[in-house]
């Protein structure tokens, strides 16, 4: 006579099998999507990283400019539904420039998707896309919609646990997605002050200050649709820029979700006083951490290999007192803890 196995034992065994599969997903899978937002005639190239149990078979290319964890190209995604974090890069950067943050999030059970903001990347600089930042939140929302519809990734994304992180103008991007409404008139008035002129003159696009006051830019802001994305439940902004486009708490009335802001004490590009701290003072219940010492703005970009560091020391070489790797470890842990707490 066969003995039946109790239901509770079956459930326990299945649980162990699931946990075993999750525990074996120790590598990082990587896939590139080349989405096209037809309504705005913009490509939205999106890099996705995710947990995988597939082995790493190919070493990192010798031409790759950053120090990073080797990934599994198009590896099989782990089973189950996982939280998703969307990443917005800084001015003149690119979807790969915050890979250190993506690596840490994936290691902690998140799927991560970073977009290229068209016309505002290191290899594709278009003046109007540098001075019309309202387009960036639309890129993030479009990438989110596209991933949720994707037959492979959509079923692995927990739609109730979606967050966003961004650096510099990407920090503004996620705050806009949270519901912050920038006032261009206020921002332009600040750019007419001595301190404002310094912030306006970004090294990624010399002379851009001569374009930002053009009527076409002002008209583009007037035609901007609402940018808040209610699907995103938590927002992590690193050295957010253009803070002086906000002057009162009413501009954040629509911000209902948690916001965590990270600033750098020695940031000369997006100074703490007029940006990170300014946002914090206006956004109700926001949290903030200021990294002390000689940590500057570009410390939050990837660590570069030696030859790239020598070629672009302004971006990739730090003050001798600063360990970029340690800063990344610290800030990425802040992000992991914040998203785990707020995306339950």
Say how many C-beta atoms besides its own lie within 10 A of residue 320's C-beta.
7
The predicted pLDDT at position 213 comes to 57
pLDDT number for residue 83: 98
Confidence (pLDDT) at 197: 86
3-state secondary structure 59-92: CCCCCCCECCCCCEECCCECCCCEEEEEEECCCC
d(CA 32, CA 244): 35
Calpha distance 297→113 (Å, rounded): 23
CA-nearest of 152, 136, 164, 98 to 227 is: 136
Question: Hey, CA dihedral for 321, 338, 102, 282, is it positive or negative?
Answer: negative
Which one, of 310, 237, 209, 268, lies nearest residue 90 by Cα? 237
Q: Judging by beta carbons within 10 Å of its beta carbon (0-12, 13-18, 19+), is residue 207 exposed, middle or buried?
A: exposed
* Phi, psi dihedrals of residue 186, rounded to the nearest 5°: -65, -40
State the DSSP H helix or E strand holding residue 112, giving kind and residue range, or none if neither: strand 111-115
What b-and-e string marks burial along 12-22, b requiring 16 or more CB atoms within 10 Å of the CB? eeeeeeeeeeb
C-alpha span between 285 and 44 (Å, rounded): 32
CATH top-level class for 24-342? alpha beta
Q: CB neighbours of 194 closer than 8 A, spacing ≥ 6? A: none
What residues have CB less than 8 Å from 252, skipping those under 6 apart?
179, 180, 181, 246, 282, 283, 284
Digits of tens for pLDDT over the chain (344 positions)?
Answer: 444 455 444 334 444 444 334 444 689 999 999 999 999 999 999 999 999 999 998 777 778 999 989 999 999 998 899 999 999 999 999 999 999 999 999 999 999 999 999 999 999 998 888 888 899 999 999 999 999 999 999 999 999 999 999 999 999 999 999 999 999 889 888 988 999 888 888 888 888 777 665 566 676 677 688 999 999 999 999 999 999 999 999 999 999 999 999 999 999 999 999 999 999 999 999 999 999 999 999 999 999 999 999 999 999 999 999 999 999 999 999 999 999 999 99
Q: What is d(CA 229, CA 311) in angstroms, rounded to the nearest whole number?
A: 39
pLDDT for position 78: 84
- The dihedral built from the CA positions of residue 78, 83, 88 and 93, taken in this order, carries a sign that is negative
Half-sphere exposure (CA, 13 Å, Cβ side) for 256? 7
**Helices 169-178 and 135-149, packing angle to 10 deg:** 70
CA distances from 32 to 47, 72, 147, 247 (A): 5, 12, 11, 39
Distances (CA, A) of 336 to 148, 166, 271: 22, 14, 25
pLDDT of residue 215: 63
The rounded distance, in Å, linking the Cα atoms of 165 and 261 is 10
Q: How far is 290 from 272, CA to CA, in rounded Å?
A: 8
């Amino acid at each position: 006579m066969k003995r039946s196995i109790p239901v509770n034992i079956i459930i326990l065994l299945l649980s162990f099998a699931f946990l075993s599969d999750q525990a074996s997903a120790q590598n990082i899978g990587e896939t590139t999507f080349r989405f096209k937002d037809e309504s705005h005639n913009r490509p939205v190239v999106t890099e996705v990283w995710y947990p995988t149990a597939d082995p790493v078979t190919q070493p990192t290319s010798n031409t790759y400019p950053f120090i990073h964890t080797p990934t599994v190209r198009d590896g099989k995604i782990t089973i189950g539904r996982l939280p998703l974090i969307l990443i917005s890069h800084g001015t003149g950067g690119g979807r790969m420039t915050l890979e250190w943050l993506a690596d840490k999030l994936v290691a902690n059970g998140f799927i991560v998707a970073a977009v290229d903001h068209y016309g505002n990347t290191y290899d594709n600089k278009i003046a109007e896309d540098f001075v019309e930042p309202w387009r960036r939140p639309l890129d993030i929302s479009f990438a989110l919609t596209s991933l949720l519809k994707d037959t492979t990734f959509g079923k692995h994304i927990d739609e109730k646990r979606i967050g966003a992180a961004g650096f510099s103008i990407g920090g503004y991007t996620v705050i806009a997605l949270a519901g912050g409404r920038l006032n261009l008139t206020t921002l332009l008035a600040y750019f007419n002050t001595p301190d404002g002129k310094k912030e306006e003159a970004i090294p990624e696009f010399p002379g851009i200050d001569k374009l930002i006051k053009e009527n076409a830019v002002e008209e583009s802001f007037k035609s901007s649709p609402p940018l808040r994305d209610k699907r995103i439940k938590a927002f992590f902004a690193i050295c957010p820029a253009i803070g002086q486009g906000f002057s009162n708490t009413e501009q954040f009335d629509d911000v209902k979700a948690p916001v965590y802001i990270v600033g750098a004490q020695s940031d000369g590009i997006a100074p703490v006083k007029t940006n990170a701290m300014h946002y914090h003072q206006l956004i109700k219940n926001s949290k903030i951490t200021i990294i002390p010492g000689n940590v500057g703005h570009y410390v939050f970009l990837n660590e570069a290999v030696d030859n790239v560091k020598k070629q672009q020391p302004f971006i990739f070489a730090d003050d001798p007192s600063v360990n970029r790797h340690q800063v990344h470890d610290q800030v990425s842990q802040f992000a992991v803890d914040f998203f785990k707490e707020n995306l339950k």
